Amino acid sequence: MPQQDAIEHLETFGYCLIEDAIPAMQADAMAEKYFQLHQDPANRDAFQDPNDELYQTLFGVVNLDETCWECIAHPQVLQVVRHFLGDNARLGEACTKWVKPRAPQGGIHSDSTHDLPARLPETPWMINSIWMITDFTVENGATLVVPFSHRARRRPSASDIAESHPVSVCGRRGSVLLWHGGTWHGQGANRTDNQHRMALNIAYYPPWWNLMREGGHQPVLPETFERMPEALQRLVRHKVAKRRADIYEF
Ligand SMILES: O=C(O)CCC(=O)C(=O)O
Ligand SMILES: [Fe+2]
C-alpha cells in the first residue's frame, strides 16, 4: 500500500496494515529467537505479568535482540508515524507479545490513556504498531480493532465494548499493523490447540509525551545504544540508561 493510502486509512479507520514490510523468512528467524527469549528464565523479570502464562509481554527487547532494530526504524512505518506525531517522534518501547493456544481474548482498550482526561486529546499522543512475526489469523489471536473508534475521543466504557464490532486484523508474517492510541483494540483469543501467535509491538510517542509514566518500559542500555545505526539512535536517545529507575518512576 503506498504510504499516502496507509496514512489516509489510519486517519479514517484508526488503523492501517502495511503488508510484507519485511520478508517472511526474516520474520521466521525472529520468531525462533523470540520464543527462546520468552522461555529463558533470565528474562522473567521483564514480563509485564509473570503470572499470565497464556499471554506474555516481554519488555526491553531492544537490548536482547538486534533483529528488531530494523523494524523500529523501518522507513515505511516511520513515514506514517511522523505524519501523525511529527518529525521528532520517538520510541516508547519495543516488546514481544506471545499469544499461546487457548489464550482468552484480552480486554478492549485504548492505549496509554489511564491518566489522561476523560475527553481524549484531538492531537494524536501515540501511534502503536504490531509486527506479525507469525501469521495472524482469526483463530490464533490476531489483534482486534474497532474501526472509527479513535473518533469517539474517549476510553471505551463497558457499554461501548458491548455495542462495538471489533474486526480481526489478519496478515502474513512480516506485515505490520499500525493504530492511533485512541483506537479501541485488544488481543484476540487463540482458539487453536497448537498455533502460537508471536508479535513485536513497537510504540511511538511525540516528543512532548511524558514517558516516565509508562509502567514496565525498559531503558536502552548504553552498550546497546553505542552499537546502533544513527537513524535508530535518533529514535531512542531519550531513553538511554543503565537502570530503569534512572529514567522512569521519578
Ligand atoms: O497483542 C495484541 O494483539 C494487542 C496488544 C496491545 O493491546 C498493545 O500492544 O497495545
Ligand atoms: Fe493496547
Hey, where are the domains in the chain? 3-246
pLDDT of residue 50: 85
Nearest alpha-carbon partner for 131 in 169, 100, 87: 169
* Atom 5 in ligand 1: residue holding the nearest Cα: 187
Q: How far is the CA of 250 from the centre of ligand 1 (A)?
A: 26
- The CATH code that applies to domain 3-246 is 2.60.120.620
Distance CA 193, CA 238 (A): 42
- Strand, helix or coil at 8? helix
pLDDT of residue 223: 98
pLDDT (tens digit, 0 to 9) for every residue of the chain, 250 residues total?
Answer: 568 999 999 999 999 999 999 999 999 999 999 999 999 999 988 899 888 899 999 999 999 999 999 999 999 999 999 999 999 999 999 999 999 999 999 999 999 999 999 999 999 999 999 999 999 999 999 999 999 999 999 999 999 999 999 999 999 999 999 999 999 999 999 999 999 999 999 999 999 999 888 888 999 999 999 999 999 999 999 999 999 999 887 5
> Is the Cβ atom of 201 under 6 angstroms away from ligand 1?
yes
Q: How far is the CA of 197 from the centre of ligand 2 (A)?
A: 16
Distance CA 146, CA 166 (A): 4
> Is the Cβ atom of 111 under 6 angstroms away from ligand 1?
yes
pLDDT of residue 250: 58
Tell me how many degrees the CA angle 8-13-19 measures, rounded to the nearest 5.
Answer: 65
Minimum-distance ligand 1 atom for the alpha carbon of 109: 7
> Is the Cβ atom of 128 under 6 angstroms away from ligand 1?
yes
Contact 89, 129 (CB under 8 A): no
Joined grid coordinates for residue 205 = 510517542
Minimum-distance ligand 1 atom for the alpha carbon of 55: 1
> Is the Cβ atom of 113 under 6 angstroms away from ligand 1?
no
Q: Write out pLDDT tens, residues 1-48.
A: 568 999 999 999 999 999 999 999 999 999 999 999 999 999 988 899
> Is the Cβ atom of 143 under 6 angstroms away from ligand 1?
yes
Query: Is pTM beyond 0.85 here?
Result: yes
Distance CA 89, CA 208 (A): 9
